[in-house]
Amino acid sequence: MDSIDLEVGEGEVFGLLGPNGAGKTTTVRMLACLIRPTGGAAYVCGRSVYDPAAAREIRGMVGILTETSGFYDELSVYKNLRFYADLYKMDHQKAQQNIDYYLRLFDLWDVRNSRVAGFSKGMRQKLALTRCLVHEPRVVFMDEPTSGLDPESARIVRDSIRSLKAEGRTIFLCTHNLDEAERLCDRIAILDKRILSVDTPQRIKYSAYGRKVIVRLDCISDRIASIVHGMDHVRRVESRGNDLLIDVDDPDTDNPEIISAIVGAGGRIQYVGEQRHTLEDAYIKLVGDRVEH
């Protein structure tokens, strides 16, 4: 993995996206002080991951949801959580309060005294989320947090992420669910051995595809196409049937002038809108372009 340069702000939901083997899990493990970096510099909450004393502090300040849950299957749900709360040296009353809260939130209250052995993947995932959050971490690393969850449970997890953000917690989210990343993340980094792009989901889409206005007419004449093509802020015009696809810098600013020019040239407009792309479209384009080159 090439050197990567990232800065994640406090209270930000930051997404790390990339194909399998891109380096996402390695990055998270280094930041959570589970493995030691071999070079560079990294800080979590102002503390260096290279300093052994600081690394111990960081481990107590972060929560991490990994792909494998790693529970003690012969212990009950409650005893598993109590064990981890004790590792973080939590006050007994506060630990009890937090455990009860998250067990109810993730619909595990009725099985709190049941052994974890035999739990489904979805139940283990909800229990792992509870364990990840019970000690009130300042930074939360989440790897595929809604994997294996039913739609209602996935919605609860997404709402929880938004609530954590509102409390000022920092969420570092690794996921292959690009629709979820687009809805939750303030900014996103696309990683494939190196950083391909870091920005808001909207700007990443714009960087991959630009901004195109779709103007549908009852008929496109050569005169209309020529007038639009000659406008200063129009970079490219493409005709598809009765649609004009127009590359512009800012549709909000440029659309009124484009519409006025078309109407002035005798065009009868049926529809005006902006061509939409998903984050998945942009992701595939960026990663695909890297593979091709």
The tens place of each residue's pLDDT in the chain, 293 residues long, gives 567 888 999 999 999 998 888 888 888 999 999 998 888 899 999 999 999 999 999 999 999 998 777 899 999 999 999 999 999 999 999 999 999 999 999 999 999 999 999 898 889 989 999 999 999 999 999 998 988 888 988 999 899 999 999 999 999 999 888 999 999 999 999 998 889 999 999 999 888 888 888 999 999 988 998 999 888 888 889 888 999 999 887 777 788 889 999 999 999 999 998 888 889 999 998 887 654 54
In terms of Cβ atoms closer than 10 Å to its own Cβ (0-12, 13-18, 19+), residue 24 is buried
Domain ranges of the chain: 13-199, 210-276
Give the pLDDT of residue 293.
45
CB 138 within 8 A of CB 172: no
Whole-angstrom distance, CA of residue 237 vs CA of residue 229: 6
Token pair of 159 as six digits: 């709402």
What is the pLDDT, as a whole number, of residue 1? 55
Contacts of 153 (CB under 8 A, 6+ apart): 106, 107, 122, 126, 146
Question: How far is 121 from 83, CA to CA, in rounded Å?
Answer: 21
Q: Which class does domain 210-276 fall in?
A: alpha beta
Kindly list the distances between the CA atom of residue 46 and the CA atoms of 30, 31, 42, 52, 218, in Å, as whole numbers in the listed order.
15, 12, 9, 14, 60
pTM for the whole structure: 0.83
User: Hey, which CATH number is domain 13-199, 3.40.190.10, 3.40.50.300, 3.90.1300.10, 3.30.450.20?
Assistant: 3.40.50.300
Measured distance CA(282)–CA(276) in Å, rounded: 11
Q: Can you tell me which residue has the tokens 């589970």?
A: 34
